[in-house]
Amino acid sequence: MNRKQMQIEVCKALLDFNKRCCGGFISENEFAVTTDGFKVYVFHKDECIFDIEKVRKFELKNLFAPDEKDEEMKLTNRFFKVGERIVEKYETENAEIYVFADVSKQFKGFHFYGASSQKRILVKDDFGRLVGLFLPMKFNEEYLR
């Protein structure tokens, strides 16, 4: 999903009263918004095609706080079917992190940074600029045995 499609998703969520669209500034110029409470998109305030004032405000700044334990995640060749969804296994030097494939696909082409399967995953572009974040899945391969 590219950044234009992300903004279209936000616009659709703002029009749908069943969606829980909320967001907030994470810096002076960066606005973070979620449409489902699971993944968050980050936009520069000047590039937003939606009206920031129409988004219900929520404090998201702490989610983006830097963590020295964050490392770039590498996709392994391990995939698991859980119900109707596919789970992908990522690794860092110190952790194994499981992610729903449909969520990671929405951030295709970007880099993922995480510290553990208990903390958020930051998404950055090739220049290190924040694109968003999403939550990992609590999963253990032992469940499948």
Q: Do 114 and 85 share a domain, yes or no?
A: yes
Residue 9 reports pLDDT greater than 80: yes
Q: Do 20 and 56 share a domain, yes or no?
A: yes
**Residue pLDDT, tens place only, 26-83:** 999 999 999 988 899 999 999 999 999 989 998 888 888 888 999 999 999 999 998 8
Q: How many domains in the chain?
A: 2
In-domain check, residue 33: yes
Model's pTM, two decimal places?
0.86
**Residue pLDDT, tens place only, 92-144:** 999 999 999 999 999 999 999 999 888 999 999 999 999 999 999 888 777 66
Report the candidate in 36, 140, 134, 144 with the shortest Cα–Cα distance to residue 83. Answer: 144
Burial 43-63 (b: 16+ CB within 10 A, else e): beeeebebeeeebeeeebeeb
* Domain encompassing residue 55: 3-64
Q: Do 104 and 76 share a domain, yes or no?
A: yes
Q: Do 60 and 13 share a domain, yes or no?
A: yes
